[in-house]
Amino acid sequence: MSTSERGSSTVRAGIVVTGTEVLTGRVSDRNGPWLAERLRELGVDLAYTTIVGDRPQDMRAALEFMAARGIDVILTSGGLGPTADDMTAQVVGEFQGREMVLDEALSERIARIVAPLMKRWPNIDPEAIAEANRKQATIPLGATVLEPVGTAPGLVVAPAAGESAPAHAATVVVLPGPPRELQPMWAQALESESLRVAIAGATVYRQHTLRLFGIPESEIAETLRIAEREGVQLGELEVTTCLKRGEVEIVTRYEPNAQETYDAFVRVVEARHADTLFSRDGSTVDQQVAALLRGSRPPRTIATAESCTGGLLAARLTELAGASDHFKGAIVAYSNEVKVSEAGVPLELIETHGAVSAEVALALAEGARDRLGADVGVGVTGVAGPGGGTEEKPVGLVWLSVALRAGEPLTRSVNLPGGRADVRDRATTVALHLVRRALSDS
């Protein structure tokens, strides 16, 4: 959900991600979000992102759609390879009213890049390779060439002048599909005269994130209404809320002259949600847990024993803290036998209370802590589904416990909606919040 009445940026951009493999979901788009963040850093307002297949008419339609709405800069990714379905350069050339020409020097540079590959596969037809090189080196006349990071060059293509000039004024930046090639090439694009001219009127944006845990997203809608009633000029802000992993994320973008308005908005959020607002500086719960582990004197270590989450909590702890410094290890114990043999859960606890219970969650936490030699142990056990739940213990019931070497343990239960993946993912987030609370209180 977002709210904004602004449109003050004088430079607007669009992103066209090409590739049937992306359109059909076989490959996830990583370029659109990455480019969106780069545009924000430049003060360019991203208006549209679209994904199209490898069909020239659809690529052209996407470009025309954006140009018709006054977009100043269009970024494309993909479609620059040597095969027949890679048509982006040609489509962009036609869109900009520019003739396609062979850049002989560029063709030679691509040939030098490909030469080592030909030595590895001596049976490849050299004429086929040469033809592929010529295809990739055939570019719109007058375009700025971005040197290949792989084998595909990028392009910055301004509209042609004179009789062939198109009706629009959009500059198109043509980038390759593989992120490892696109990302370093972006720095080259920013140095091109055509792109610098196109974004010369960009504004400055500030962006801040507030994170809350333990409330529904609908509560933020009411907070926005209250802020307006209290005189906060929300039209000066672009406020976006998102429910992610059980947390509510409030991202606000604004120009520097709206700083006082943003500060007033934050005060309203703090007043209404003091008990659930856990991050005022945008830091994630993962980062906060890492800081708490590092900030202890001496730094503390952590270990997990997980049933329904299947090691997902361990994976996030490894990423946030560093396995060698803070994360001691994990026990993934689906079966009762493994809970007993590896995590040290007494069999009588399982027989008396069931595997999904407060008692077993605590025993898992203490077992992880003691058997893996950590300062903090976390236990997670629940019914993730599909099936397997009972009226007493339905799918989505998860018990979690955090046991420190000193102090009382924290043990809680939650009932989480959704399928197996949702339950596991949200349970992991709940566990991290429980760890954060335990470390903050100790």
Following DSSP, what letter does each residue of 228-250 receive, concatenated? Answer: HHTT--GGGSEEEEEEETTEEEE
Burial class from Cβ neighbours inside 10 Å (0-12, 13-18, 19+) for residue 208 reads middle
Cα–Cα nearest to 425, from 282, 316, 302: 316
Count of C-beta atoms within a 10 Å radius of residue 268: 17
3-state SS, residue 52:
strand
Residues in the chain: 442
From the candidate CATH numbers 3.30.565.10, 3.90.950.20, 3.30.420.40, 3.30.460.10, the one assigned to the domain spanning 285-441: 3.90.950.20
The rounded distance, in Å, linking the Cα atoms of 402 and 310 is: 17
On whether the CB atoms of residues 45 and 11 are closer than 8 A, the answer is yes
Quick check: bond before 298 cis, omega within 30? yes
* Best CA proximity match to 289, nearest among 316, 249, 267: 316
Which segments of 273-342 does DSSP mark as H helices, in order? 285-295, 312-321, 336-341
In 87-178, alpha helices (H): 88-95, 104-120, 126-136
Indicate if 285-441 has the same CATH topology as 206-279: no
Give, for 213, the enclosing helix (H) or strand (E).
Answer: strand 206-213
Class (C level, CATH) for 206-279: alpha beta
10-residue averages of pLDDT along the chain (442 residues) = 52 96 94 96 95 96 97 96 89 97 93 79 75 91 95 95 92 97 96 96 92 92 96 96 91 95 98 96 92 88 95 88 74 95 96 96 97 96 79 89 93 91 93 95 85
The pLDDT value given to residue 244: 85
Q: Which parts of 121-198 fold into alpha helices (H)?
A: 126-136, 179-191, 193-198
Domain range annotation of the chain = 8-198, 206-279, 285-441
Q: Are 65 and 51 in contact (CB under 8 A)?
A: no
For residue 37, the SS3 value is helix
Measured between alpha carbons, how far is 21 from 23 in angstroms, rounded to an integer?
Answer: 6
Architecture of domain 8-198 in this structure: 3-Layer(aba) Sandwich (3.40)
The pLDDT of residue 407: 85
DSSP 270: H
- Is residue 394 within 8 A of residue 423, CB to CB? The reply is no
Please state, in angstroms and as integers, the Cα–Cα distance from residue 334 to each residue in 367, 401, 427, following that order. 15, 17, 15
